[in-house]
Structure 1
Amino acid sequence: MAVHTLNRPIALTGDKAVDAPLARRKAKGRRLGPGRPIPFGHAIGPIILFATWIITSATGVLDPETLPSPLTVFHTGADLWRDGTLQSNLLTSIQRAGISLVLGIAIGLVLALVAGLSRIGEALVDGPIQIKRAIPTLALIPLFIVWFGIGESMKIIVITTSVLIPVYINTHAQLRGVDGRHVELAETVGLSRWQFIRKIALPGSLPGFFTGVRMAVTISWLALVVVEQVNATSGIGYLMTQARTYGQIDVIVVGLVIYALFGLFGDLVVRAVERRALVWRQTLAD
């Protein structure tokens, strides 16, 4: 038996009323949204891509002069590791990217709080950030070389300014989207400015902040590729530049694989931290 309440059919089962469309979906075993998370689902795409590379190389579809086979790249990487070339350049790249990433995230978060919690702060900060956002990193390098020279400080500044943009944009947008009722409640209970930031603003901005950090991790490696190919004497980018000069495609691919792996694993780490920090939030990804 079914009755209609507010134009929605309700099925009566015994002593319980059940929403009819919901009951039909459950009976069919269907649900809206992407479904349950797949274990190690993020690794499926890269595995398929890697398998395609192996198959096309083994069957001759992929010309080794265009892209060496995975086995050739592995042997080249092993040779570079044995003679110590890979470790020294890799350590330099990790150090540059790590320092710049920490600085960029910290500066981006502070600027987002200043602009997101104050109209005056937004007027002072948001415009310059949007200008930097519109200028490619590569276009700023000649000016930064004039200002800061060609040493490590220039490279770190270039990467840092690239990293802080996505952190600022996403955190600022999330701060502006904090429910106004929460602000009214904070005013009602008499929270101080610092208590409001700590208990409402920061927790409310976390989803946007983590989105920005995920983008920042990728951008840090993209910017690193650029700066390490400009007046650098060490790093994975420098190694790739030297390989390009001598036509060593396999060494170039080794560098690309390293960049890709660090970008992928960096994103996975941020996702894991995000899940733990936002355990209270239920989304389609859960």
Structure 2
Amino acid sequence: MRIATTIFLTDETISPVRLARELEQRGFSGLYLPEHTHIPVSRETPAPMGEPLSREYGRSLDPFVALGQAAAVTERLALGTGITLVAEHDPIVLAKQVATLDFLSGGRFTFGVGYGWNVEEAADHGVRWATRRNLVRDRMALMRALWAEEPRSYEGEFESVRASYAHPKPLTAPRGRAGAEPLTGPRTLIGGAAGPKLFAHIAEYADGWMPLGGSGLTRSLPALRQAWRDAGREGEGPEIVPCGVVPSQGKLAHYQDLGVSEVILDLPSAGEAEVVRALDEFAQYL
């Protein structure tokens, strides 16, 4: 089981370059970064992680720029978003960003996809909250069309694109789906709370699930794996990658027994000295 990390990198924390080098030197498998474009001051949406909302949410670095820096100073470290708020992006531009980062890193990118929790943030991007899940699904299909080897058009409920030349391509090979176009693009994990709609979307257009924290997996995984089989997906089943985990030996052993392939440990959003101390503490789990 691979041990990766996640952190809110901000203008006040350790830099992406220093963190990436420290992670690779110690043997951690990856670095995943969250995303918030902004946090409206007048926010009425309660934060699911509790109030008051921590300072780092309004100061986070752009994950694609930060991961580009991390890619440039490492050779083996996997890089990912945990998660990208796809509904807040132009999908044609996002497809280019994802493909470029995957190409320049040598295929090390994992595309963590999510729907968000902050209604006001999404509204400033023109997102109608009730439609955001279907909007993300539509935009993912458009991006897959741009990532295909041959020019392919897409016409969906919310988005469309003409058959286009769009390079570079992500380096991950297409994955088969019974009765449907193969999945193109990098390894894709969807974040979100367990439920039939989420599991159906994972089975339709992703490679696995990125649950926050990882609680309740024993109850949830049978339903997800059944949705995977019902969708005619090939292979042993979806990847399970809990994110933001506060580790213990017992917890990690439990995840391994459940078939979890990777765990993403939660680092403090802090300066260099505090983050390095946390890495030294987490090294016991490698």
Fold match by TM threshold 0.5: no
Greater share of residues in helix: 1
Question: What's the TM-score once normalised by structure 2's chain length?
Answer: 0.23
Greater share of residues in strand: 2
Question: What's the TM-score once normalised by structure 1's chain length?
Answer: 0.23
Q: Looking at CA atoms only, which structure, 1 or 2, has the larger radius of gyration?
A: 1
